[in-house]
Chain A
Amino acid sequence: MSTTTFNIDDMHCASCVAKIRATLNHLDGVLRLQFNPARRQLIVSHENAVPVHELLQRIEHMGFHPYLSGSHSLSGSDTRNGADLSADLLKRLGIAGLSMMQVMTVVIGLYAGILSGIDEGYRRILEYTALLFCIPVVSYSAMPFYIGALKSLRTGPGMDVPIALAIAISFLVSLYATLVGQGEVYYESVVMFTFLLLLARYIDLNLKHRVDTEDALMHSLPNIVTLVKDSSHEQVPVADVSVRDTLWVGEGEQISVDGALISEQAYIDEALLTGESQHCKKAKGENLYAGTFNRGAGIYLSVQAVSEKTRFAAINRLATDTMLAKNRVARLADQIARIFIPCILLFAMLTYFGWCLVDSGQAFSAALAVLVISCPCALSLAIPAALSAAMVRLRHAGVVLKDSTFLELLPKVTDILFDKTGTLTKPKAGISAVNTLGTYDAQWCLAIASALQMYSSHPLARCFSTSEIALESVESTLGAGVQANLGQDIVRVGSAGYCSFDEAYEVPVNTVFMSVNNQPAATFGIENPLRENAQATVEVLQREGLGVHILSGDKQNNCARVADKLGLDFDAEQAPEDKWDMLNTLIDKQHTVMFVGDGINDLPALAGADVSVAMLESNDLVKSKSDIVLFTSRLSALADLFNIARLTRRVMNQNLVWAFSYNVIAIPAAALGLVPPWLAALGMALSSTGVMLNAVRLIRCPLYQFSEKKIEPYKLVEGG
């Protein structure tokens, strides 16, 4: 028996699942189907005799676009690891939560006892009970912090070090107090602190966007191709194809190798490589690239390069190399930890030696008091709590960050570069203008043209909607247009020459022509319309003091029109390498640059930018190379992103100030032996709760609401 994992990105709802289940269940040899709608995955357990490509085809025939996750034998080990990690953390979190409830109950008894008097015997029983409940938390739940601390010691102490120290020191001091029957216990602080930090970590882990890069590269291309052998067509896995083989690529199929065209001509959609939705016409012998789509009739091609040798893979490699070379910002929390820990340890030692001179009996307990009080609970919670809350808020707004570090980096961004097509504009082209000549009605022309275009395989025909007007004797001429009889009239839709327009007829955009009885009748302008709120979003970004710029692979006049509408400057006809150069010029000038893109052609730029954003409609590979992925088609999510990042920084600063002031007051007091233990415990609890509550405000922060042209700036809701 073997298990195969299919990723089916277009499996959106329960009825899709039901459809696939119904079909596959009836196949012989299929033993078990498991669905994971969250990951859009289908895990099939089947007998080895069932060929995987047959399963693929079955799912494809239902109209879905499945691709394999990793190799056949391996059932998506990357996602499995992520899930295992999450389950492991959840167990630790759950145990910490359950124990925390018990410890709190017992400790309330202890504090009540301190206030109203309690038998020494009962006090010790309660202390031992709290100790017992605390042990699973300290020995099991807090384990990730110890491991993280040990690991980070090699590279310089990170935030895990003070966390591990705080847990260990508070616990050991309490343990000592319990065993000797003297001094105060801090079990409740230990468990609460561990629980809150685990919670923040769990939220972080589950919100991060995980796409395995290598997998994403494979997913971007079809796994099964049609090999032409002795004039028969055969479906084979792409891995079995070698150079100089002949492949058949049907209409609408994606090409998965680099090759030369054998057929006379082809319409190829190179959007994935160039980012532009305009289709190119290729003649016999011209090069076709992996990742492009065949939008015309079926074609034959001769294979020139497969897998790693394709241009597609080369662009990906450039992106990977750039990404590896990129310096990540040091985390603020780690920087603070690096300064804070040595200071505290030094101060505790000074306290010890100081007291040795005055009263050596007090020295040890005073040094411990310094360590416990400074227990950097608030400090270590200050940043993760704010970041987690912001990640939750952004997730609801449809923005997913691969790492919360980018939230710290965003307020430093100075320039935003947009790829035009698919980012500022919608990824799909539509009809932007209908111009009629003579007395023809625009609606009528559009309806007739739509009806005619249904018979055309020309790429631009897809921009028209469907129509139910009945036509007679339809004739399609490849590369020219379509003609039909409508009542007494002969209507034609297609190129300028075919529709009796002057060939030199000047048009600003991609245009489809229409004629009635060989007289010019109408022209249809086709372009990618701007996204909703594109203008408002750009205005908000500019108001935040960001330099916004368009960097597009599209033609000069297309870019100029979009740039004019938005009031931006632009560079047109940029190759992937040009975008990368432009980006590096800015980075060399000490600018912090964000790049927003969607196509494979943006990959090098995305990888090289300080922060990169991939749009919802982007290819998986692009998403895997980007730092931030938009899971919404609202462009205004970018404005939200910047605003939430700014508010997050403010909350982090407030939290840090709060935590530092607490420490500045508490530590000297503890060193002088002025803080009674109950006050120390209360202080720790209050300072931690304070920073948590402050951070939680971020979850309620509202999003930008654009109502037509009016932009309402919003404020953070004050108060816990």
Chain B
Amino acid sequence: MESLFFLIPLSILLLALAAKIFVWAVEQDQFANLDQHGLDIFEEKIEKEHGEN
């Protein structure tokens, strides 16, 4: 049972980390538009053209 003294702080740390990553992802609008990324592959060529300009 002594392992609790290690595992509980660890789980707190992991939760804090997961929460931070999740909040970051939401703030980056990663969930704002879930359809966009499926369409991105069609745009590769145009992106490149633009990059060369």
Task: Please give the residue numbers on chain A whose beta carbons come within 8 Å of chain B beta carbons, in ascending order.
Answer: 14-15, 17-18, 21-22, 25-26, 35-38, 83, 86-87, 90-91, 94-95, 98-99, 102, 105, 119, 122, 125, 129, 132-133, 136
By the criterion CB–CB under 8 Å, are A98 and B46 in contact?
A: no
By the criterion CB–CB under 8 Å, are A95 and B4 in contact?
A: no
Interface string of B28-52 (1 = CB under 8 A from A): 0101110110010011011001100
Distance, CA A15 to CA B45, complexed state (A): 12
Q: List B contacts of A95 (CB < 8 A).
A: 19, 22-23
By the criterion CB–CB under 8 Å, are B35 and A38 in contact?
A: yes
By the criterion CB–CB under 8 Å, are A38 and B22 in contact?
A: no
How close is B26's CB to chain A, nearest CB, in angstroms?
Answer: 5
By the criterion CB–CB under 8 Å, are A122 and B42 in contact?
A: no
By the criterion CB–CB under 8 Å, are A102 and B15 in contact?
A: yes
How close is A42's CB to chain B, nearest CB, in angstroms?
Answer: 13
By the criterion CB–CB under 8 Å, are A98 and B15 in contact?
A: yes
User: Do A125 and B8 form a contact, CB below 8 Å, given A22-B46, A36-B33, A37-B35?
Assistant: yes
Q: List A contacts of B29 (CB < 8 A).
A: 83, 87
Number of A-B contacts (CB under 8 A): 71
A-B contact pairs, 5 of them (CB 8 A): A15-B42, A17-B39, A35-B36, A87-B32, A119-B1
By the criterion CB–CB under 8 Å, are A17 and B43 in contact?
A: yes
Q: List A contacts of B49 (CB < 8 A).
A: 22, 25
Which A residue's beta carbon lies closest to that of B31?
Answer: A90
By the criterion CB–CB under 8 Å, are A94 and B11 in contact?
A: no
How close is A206's CB to chain B, nearest CB, in angstroms?
Answer: 10
Q: List B contacts of A125 (CB < 8 A).
A: 4, 8
Which B residue's beta carbon lies closest to that of A83?
Answer: B32
User: Do A91 and B22 form a contact, CB below 8 Å, given A14-B43, A102-B15, A125-B4?
Assistant: yes
By the criterion CB–CB under 8 Å, are B33 and A90 in contact?
A: no
By the criterion CB–CB under 8 Å, are B46 and A21 in contact?
A: yes
Which A residue's beta carbon lies closest to that of B4?
Answer: A125
Which A residue's beta carbon lies closest to that of B39?
Answer: A14
By the criterion CB–CB under 8 Å, are B23 and A21 in contact?
A: no
Distance, CA A566 to CA B47, complexed state (A): 54
By the criterion CB–CB under 8 Å, are A122 and B4 in contact?
A: yes
By the criterion CB–CB under 8 Å, are B12 and A87 in contact?
A: no
How close is B30's CB to chain A, nearest CB, in angstroms?
Answer: 10
User: Do A91 and B26 form a contact, CB below 8 Å, given A14-B39, A17-B39, A38-B35?
Assistant: yes
Q: List A contacts of B36 (CB < 8 A).
A: 35-38
By the criterion CB–CB under 8 Å, are B15 and A133 in contact?
A: yes
By the criterion CB–CB under 8 Å, are A102 and B31 in contact?
A: no
Which A residue's beta carbon lies closest to that of B25?
Answer: A94
By the criterion CB–CB under 8 Å, are A98 and B19 in contact?
A: yes
By the criterion CB–CB under 8 Å, are B46 and A37 in contact?
A: no
User: Do A18 and B4 form a contact, CB below 8 Å, given A38-B33, A102-B11?
Assistant: no
Selected contact of B23 from candidates A38, A91, A129, A133, CB within 8 Å: A91
Q: List B contacts of A90 (CB < 8 A).
A: 26, 31
Distance, CA A98 to CA B21, complexed state (A): 11
Q: List A contacts of B22 (CB < 8 A).
A: 91, 94-95, 98
How close is A230's CB to chain B, nearest CB, in angstroms?
Answer: 40
Distance, CA A95 to CA B26, complexed state (A): 11
How close is A141's CB to chain B, nearest CB, in angstroms?
Answer: 11
By the criterion CB–CB under 8 Å, are B46 and A94 in contact?
A: no
Distance, CA A522 to CA B39, complexed state (A): 49
Q: List A contacts of B12 (CB < 8 A).
A: 132-133
Q: List B contacts of A17 (CB < 8 A).
A: 39, 42-43
How close is B23's CB to chain A, nearest CB, in angstroms?
Answer: 5
Distance, CA A119 to CA B4, complexed state (A): 13
Q: List A contacts of B31 (CB < 8 A).
A: 87, 90
Selected contact of B27 from candidates A35, A38, A87, CB within 8 Å: A87
Which B residue's beta carbon lies closest to that of A19?
Answer: B46
User: Do A94 and B19 form a contact, CB below 8 Å, given A38-B33, A87-B27, A87-B29?
Assistant: yes
Q: List A contacts of B42 (CB < 8 A).
A: 14-15, 17-18
Q: Tell which of A18, A105, A132 has the most Cβ of chain B within 10 Å.
A: A18
Distance, CA A306 to CA B32, complexed state (A): 38
9 closest A-B pairs by CB:
A14-B42, A14-B39, A94-B22, A91-B26, A25-B50, A129-B8, A87-B26, A90-B26, A22-B46
Q: List B contacts of A22 (CB < 8 A).
A: 46, 49
Distance, CA A90 to CA B26, complexed state (A): 7
Which B residue's beta carbon lies closest to that of A86?
Answer: B32
Distance, CA A35 to CA B37, complexed state (A): 11
How close is B40's CB to chain A, nearest CB, in angstroms?
Answer: 8
By the criterion CB–CB under 8 Å, are B11 and A37 in contact?
A: no
Q: List B contacts of A102 (CB < 8 A).
A: 11, 15
Distance, CA A122 to CA B7, complexed state (A): 13
Q: List A contacts of B33 (CB < 8 A).
A: 36-38
Distance, CA A528 to CA B40, complexed state (A): 40
User: Do A136 and B19 form a contact, CB below 8 Å, given A21-B46, A87-B31, A94-B26?
Assistant: yes
Q: List A contacts of B18 (CB < 8 A).
A: 98
With A83-B32, A105-B11, A125-B8 given, name 17 new contacts (CB 8 A).
Answer: A15-B42, A17-B39, A18-B46, A21-B50, A25-B49, A37-B33, A38-B35, A87-B27, A87-B29, A87-B31, A90-B31, A91-B26, A98-B19, A99-B19, A122-B1, A122-B4, A129-B8
Q: List A contacts of B46 (CB < 8 A).
A: 18, 21-22, 25
Distance, CA A35 to CA B15, complexed state (A): 34
Selected contact of A25 from candidates B4, B8, B27, B53, CB within 8 Å: B53
Distance, CA A75 to CA B19, complexed state (A): 30
Distance, CA A105 to CA B14, complexed state (A): 14
Q: Tell which of B19, B49, B50 has the most Cβ of chain A within 10 Å.
A: B19
By the criterion CB–CB under 8 Å, are A99 and B8 in contact?
A: no
Distance, CA A51 to CA B19, complexed state (A): 44
Q: Tell which of A14, A26, A86, A136 has the most Cβ of chain B within 10 Å.
A: A14
Q: List A contacts of B45 (CB < 8 A).
A: 18
User: Do A21 and B43 form a contact, CB below 8 Å, given A91-B23, A94-B23?
Assistant: yes
Which A residue's beta carbon lies closest to that of B32?
Answer: A83
How close is B27's CB to chain A, nearest CB, in angstroms?
Answer: 7
Distance, CA A98 to CA B12, complexed state (A): 11
Which A residue's beta carbon lies closest to that of B29?
Answer: A87
Q: List A contacts of B1 (CB < 8 A).
A: 119, 122
